[in-house]
Amino acid sequence: MLQSSAIALAMTALAIPASAASTAPRAASSATIHMHDFAFVPKTLTIDAGTRVTIVNDDDEAHTATAIDASFDTAGLDAHETWSHVFDRIGSFAYYCELHPSMKGVIIVRTHPASKGHS
Ligand SMILES: [Cu+2]
């Protein structure tokens, strides 16, 4: 009797992390933007909140990815350097390269479907 309720408790305890993981895939999400031939690829990236974005400089020139609202800034990324950041704030974040202002991109961060109704 005691033993079976202990087992039931143990199963309940095991079920909690499993369901938490299925409603919170945020940590697993990632996306990459390349600085390639003086352009950001993709130019527009749409991600769920909580996604880790890695920016990779594929060029032999230094570049930056600098948010117009100053919410993020890679600062100077030399050839083949990378930078990454977890985007938690919902919104549309336009950015450009301070060294080559014609290089422009946008990161659109939306609410993750699983986190809706969480308040
Ligand atoms: Cu640049």
Q: What is the pLDDT along the chain (119 residues), one digit of tens a residue?
A: 455 555 555 444 444 444 444 455 545 699 999 999 999 999 999 999 999 999 999 999 999 999 999 999 999 999 999 999 999 999 999 999 999 999 999 999 999 766 655 54
H or E stretch covering 26 = none
Q: Where in 1-119 does DSSP place strands (E)?
A: 30-35, 40-41, 44-48, 51-57, 66-67, 82-87, 91-96, 104-110
Q: Which residues pair with 47 in a beta bridge?
A: 109
Identify which of 110, 108, 105 has the alpha carbon closest to the alpha carbon of residue 42: 105
pLDDT for position 21: 45
Q: Which residue has the tokens 């095991």?
A: 14
- Fill in the DSSP letter of residue 27: G
Which two tokens mark 106?
A: 């946008």
Centre of ligand 1 from the C-alpha of residue 41, in Å = 13
Centre of ligand 1 from the C-alpha of residue 100, in Å = 4
pLDDT for position 23: 53
Identify which of 64, 63, 53, 67 has the alpha carbon closest to the alpha carbon of residue 95: 67
State the amino acid at position 112 in one-letter form: H
pLDDT for position 17: 47
Q: Which domains are assigned to the chain?
A: 26-115 (2.60.40.420)
Centre of ligand 1 from the C-alpha of residue 81, in Å = 13
pLDDT for position 118: 52
